[in-house]
Amino acid sequence: MTDTQSTTPEATAAAPTRRSLIGWGGAGLALGAAAAGGAVAMARTGNDVDPAGADTGAAVAFHGAHQAGIATAVQDRLHFAAFDVKTDDRAEFVQLMKDWTEAARRMTAGRTVGDGAYGGLAEAPPDDTGEALGLKPSRLTLTIGFGPGLFDRFGLTGRRPEALVDLPQFAGDNLDKSRTGGDLCIQACADDPQVAVHAIRNLARIGFGKVAIRWSQLGFGKTSSTTPDAQTPRNLMGFKDGTRNIAGTETDRLKKYVWVGEGDGTAWMNGGSYLVARRIRMDIESWDRTSLQEQEDVFGRDKGTGAPVGKAKEHDKPFLKAMKPDAHVRLAHPDSNDGITILRRGYSFTDGTDGLGRLDAGLFFLAYMRDVRKGFIPLQRKLSAQDALNEYIQHVGSAVFAVPPGVRDQDDWWGRTLLSEEA
């Protein structure tokens, strides 16, 4: 959950007419929008770190070799949704992917989808839900992933990547089926929570009748960073998280550990990645009654500075043998795991109480990797069996997705390499 490897172009197409959007919504009309406005300041590309600050309201480029929202500088807010596919018509599903791509392209650029929230036909629902009108793009990124169940449909059985494995049951798992799995996922990250929620809402409306939300999660307070020069964020246990996370500028490490390559055996995934999502509930009340010394022993770091045991600064190389054998940092460090390295984009969450007066709070863990079999699974097997942190956490939700490569240009669309006839 913390430190080294814990488990824990602006759109240039003309705006579509209302008639061209027929078929997007359940009533046969396009439903969805983004922040209104004209030109927006663009970051470099979706596969680079966005240097823009949160207060600029800048947009992150949608097009690129890799999807934005992976190596992109981590935004402050998250709305993550897993979907079940309801249609068995391949052509209908392909059209949905094209429609979703166009909507995502426009929303991430701060533009409306369709004719907007007002001024259209009075007899028809507006194309724009309206709650993001006047808001800036807020570095919104939308990242799509395909779950194992999708490959049981549309004649895709033989195209399921070997690396997209069903996760095993780990020691201590207490998974809620209603928060587990999914045929598709959309990860919406932004610096404004309303922008992120608006994006998921609109994609769900566009997909009405073809897909349905299975579960979703709101997140705040990023718990990992892909910008090493920025201040390291803290998780809800008060410890700095993601000290040695892969940076978005580390192209060599991204190529080695995150992006699927030509030699990985699944050509349609080249430039993509694999995502593991885990909802990890923290026993906040017990943790808050635990002594400072024990808390620091559990993690293997100083709570104030983030320095590893026996060191003075957060980024000092840790001396693992100075930590307790079951310390989280010691067990999760690449040096303890044959170099296993994953990229994390986790967020804190609080979802009210559990009915017994305890906070339903914790970490929504998101990690990207080149191969789930060589990344998350061996790492989590070790942590679930030995980590002292297990006394204070429980994994209650889980999903795994194949995240395809990025959308190259305005004629490309999500999943084309998997779903197109020439693929």
Q: Which pLDDT does position 56 carry in this prediction? A: 67
For the packed helices 193-206 and 90-108, what is the interaxial angle rounded to 10 degrees?
A: 160
With 0-12 CB in 10 A as exposed, 13-18 as middle and 19+ as buried, what is 295? middle
Among candidate residues 12, 30, 155, 146, the one with its CA nearest the CA of residue 99: 30
Residues of the chain with pLDDT under 50: 2-54
Among candidate residues 45, 67, 33, 62, the one with its CA nearest the CA of residue 345: 67
What secondary structure letter does DSSP report for 34? -
Q: Where are the domains of the chain?
A: 19-419
Q: The tokens 């026993």 sit on which residue?
A: 283
Helix, strand and coil in the chain, % to nearest 5: 25, 20, 55
DSSP 237-301: TS-B--TTPPPTT-HHHHHHHTS--GGGS-GGGTT-EEEEEEEEEE-HHHHHTS-HHHHHHHHTB
Give φ, ψ of 104 to 5 degrees.
-65, -40
42, HSE (Cβ side, Cα atoms, 13 Å):
18
What secondary structure letter does DSSP report for 178? G
Write out the two tokens for 13. 């197409």
What is the value of pTM for the model shown? Answer: 0.87
Instruction: Give the integer Cα–Cα distance in Å for 189 and 199.
Output: 9
Q: Which pLDDT does position 244 carry in this prediction? A: 79
Among candidate residues 101, 117, 97, the one with its CA nearest the CA of residue 36: 117
Q: Which pLDDT does position 230 carry in this prediction? A: 75
Which segments of 262-412 does DSSP mark as H helices, in order?
A: 284-288, 292-299, 328-332, 376-386
Q: How many CB atoms lie within 10 A of CB 248?
A: 22
Q: Which pLDDT does position 141 carry in this prediction? A: 98
